Amino acid sequence: MMQAFQFEWIAYLIALVLVFLFLQAAIYIFREYERGVLFTLGRFTRVSGPGFVLIIPVVQQLVRTDLRMFVEDVPSQDVISRDNVSVKVNAVIYFRIVDPQRAIINVADFRAAVSQLAQTTLRSVLGKHELDEMLAERDKLNADIQEILDRQTDAWGIKVANVEIKHVDIDESMVRAIAKQAEAERLRRARVINALGEFQAASKLVEAGKLLATQPNSMQLRYFNALNDIAADGTTTVVFPLPIDLLPKSSKSDD
How does pLDDT run across 147-180, given as a tens digit for each residue? 999 999 999 999 999 999 988 888 776 666 666 7
CA nearest neighbour of 62 among 73, 70, 54: 54
Assign residue 33 a region (left: φ > 0; alpha: ψ between -120 and 50; beta: otherwise).
alpha
**Pairing relationship of beta strands 27-30 and 51-54 according to DSSP bridges:** antiparallel
Do both 134 and 146 map to the same domain?
Answer: yes
How does pLDDT run across 88-106, given as a tens digit for each residue? 999 999 999 999 999 999 9
Mean pLDDT of 62-81: 91
- Spatial contact of 119 and 77, defined as CB atoms under 8 Å apart: yes
CA-atom Rg of the chain in angstroms: 43
Do both 84 and 165 map to the same domain?
Answer: yes
Residue 237 falls within a domain, yes or no?
no
- pTM attached to this predicted model: 0.65
Mean pLDDT of 52-68: 91
How many residues belong to the chain? 255
Residue 32 reports pLDDT greater than 90 = yes
Ordered alpha helix ranges (H), the chain = 2-26, 100-105, 110-126, 131-136, 138-152, 172-214, 216-231
Domain end (from 48, 66, 84): 66
- Spatial contact of 30 and 49, defined as CB atoms under 8 Å apart: yes
Do both 101 and 146 map to the same domain?
Answer: yes
* Alpha-carbon span 99 to 118, nearest angstrom: 20
Q: If DSSP codes are grouped into helix, strand and coil, which group holds residue 77? A: strand
Give pLDDT, residue 9. Answer: 74
Do both 23 and 115 map to the same domain?
Answer: no
Residue 141 falls within a domain, yes or no?
yes
Residue 212 falls within a domain, yes or no?
no
Give pLDDT, residue 250. Answer: 54
* Alpha-carbon span 65 to 106, nearest angstrom: 14
Do both 29 and 102 map to the same domain?
Answer: no
Do both 78 and 123 map to the same domain?
Answer: yes
Residue 53 falls within a domain, yes or no?
yes
Domain count, the chain: 2
Q: Which helix (H) or strand (E) holds 158?
A: strand 158-170
- Spatial contact of 92 and 71, defined as CB atoms under 8 Å apart: yes
Residue 236 falls within a domain, yes or no?
no
Backbone angles phi and psi of 161, in degrees to 5:
-85, -35
Do both 155 and 82 map to the same domain?
Answer: yes
Domain end (from 154, 170, 186): 170
Q: What is the mean pLDDT of the chain?
A: 82
- Spatial contact of 77 and 122, defined as CB atoms under 8 Å apart: yes
Assign residue 49 a region (left: φ > 0; alpha: ψ between -120 and 50; beta: otherwise).
left
* Alpha-carbon span 128 to 80, nearest angstrom: 9
Assign 146 a pLDDT band (cuts: 50, 70, 90).
very high
Residue 4 falls within a domain, yes or no?
no
Residue 204 falls within a domain, yes or no?
no
Residue 41 falls within a domain, yes or no?
yes
Do both 158 and 75 map to the same domain?
Answer: yes
Do both 76 and 62 map to the same domain?
Answer: no
Do both 22 and 113 map to the same domain?
Answer: no
Query: Residue 97 belongs to what domain range?
Result: 70-170
Do both 78 and 164 map to the same domain?
Answer: yes
Domain end (from 66, 83, 107): 66
The CATH number covering residue 80 comes to 3.30.479.30
How does pLDDT run across 195-245, given as a tens digit for each residue? 888 888 888 777 777 766 676 666 666 666 666 666 666 655 666 565 555
Do both 56 and 101 map to the same domain?
Answer: no
